[in-house]
Structure 1
Amino acid sequence: MTAQPLATTVHVARPDQLTVPVLYALLRLRSDVFVVEQDCVYPDMDGRDLDPEVLHLWVSPADDPEEVLACLRVLPEPDGGTRIGRVVTAKAARGRGLAGDLMSAALAEVGSAPCVLSAQTYVRDFYASFGFEAVGEEYLEDGIPHVDMRRAGR
């Protein structure tokens, strides 16, 4: 018997719209994956999460909006463009297309503005499928190969 797909919801909120449990769940997921799973000791809480211009997007089960299965954030860039960052999916939720759902929602929010991101090299093709192109050379960040990517304004 095939398991039923999990019904999910994509949420979009500014920092002042986040509940404390959701903010905690966002930060916990990022820490679980980036710091613990990928073994990178770095200051994930960089002061940008509470910037009033930042958008937080997350996927939750439809019946529990405070459970975070995947998330990302959209930040303004000094040049007027936009940055997508901290794209992450919980280990148990991978392979369901949740990161793709988030990227589609994030790009709908970005609209026609130019957009940049720093991609772990192994997911470069994933971001390319959303119109991002590599710019510059591959580099190591916290011991993990990355490449900067850009999607031109539309």
Structure 2
Amino acid sequence: MLSIKIKTFQELTTQELYDMLQLRSAVFVVEQDCVYQDLDGKDQKALHVLGFKNDEIIAYARIFKPGDYFNEASIGRVVVAINERQYKYGYNIMNASAEAIKSYFNETKIKISAQVYLKKFYNNLGFKAIGKEYLEDNIPHVAMLKG
């Protein structure tokens, strides 16, 4: 079972910050073999959706109010540890993120920049592709909208 905590940047403990950055790096840099600047200066504006299992962060996303990333509210840096993906925690972290956007920002319209290979996953969560595919950090992405 996944336990979800939502925190501002200031509320994160040093250990939580380290663990979430380590998870993001393990997946987005190492696993996907992509050199990019993960520390983009936006974490301070985001709300952080932390998914814990046995006191370890194994799933994560960050959310933004409208105007802080896109014109719409948004979810990004969605990640699940490789050894935990068979449990479908991606759905838990995305649903918790959408709920947090509704409760914290009173918004239901959400825009994401999705890796193309995950389009079906996001379709299952109610997102629809908009516009053409594009490269972001040399990985094919597509903008998607829900609500």
- TM-score norm. by structure 2 comes to 0.89
Matches within 5 A, 1:2-151: 7-51=1-45, 54-61=46-53, 63-64=54-55, 67-78=56-67, 81-111=72-102, 112-151=107-146
Helix, strand or coil for the counterpart of 1:41? coil
- Bigger Rg over Cα: 1
What is the one-letter code of the residue matched to 2:20?
L
Root-mean-square deviation over aligned CA pairs: 1.4
Q: C-alpha offsets along residues 115-154 of structure 1, whole Å, 9 cap, x if unaligned?
A: 10011111111111221110111112222111110113xx
Cα distance in 2 between the residues matched to 1:86 and 1:8? 18
- TM-score norm. by structure 1 comes to 0.86
What is the one-letter code of the residue matched to 2:65?
P
CA contact (8 A) 1:15 1:50 kept: yes
What is the one-letter code of the residue matched to 1:36?
V
Cα distance in 1 between the residues matched to 2:71 and 2:142? 21
Cα distance in 2 between the residues matched to 1:135 and 1:115? 12
Give 4+ residue runs of structure 1 displaced > 2 Å after superposition.
none
Cα distance in 1 between the residues matched to 2:72 and 2:136? 23
Cα distance in 1 between the residues matched to 2:88 and 2:50? 13
Structure 2: segments with no counterpart, 5+ residues: none
Shift of 1:80: 5.4
Comparing 73-82 and 27-36, the one that deviates more? 73-82
Structure 1: segments with no counterpart, 5+ residues: 1-6
CA contact (8 A) 1:138 1:147 kept: yes
Q: C-alpha offsets along residues 25-68 of structure 1, whole Å, 9 cap, x if unaligned?
A: 111110111011111111001011112xx21012111x41xx21
What is the one-letter code of the residue matched to 1:43?
Q
Question: Matched residue pairs, number?
Answer: 141
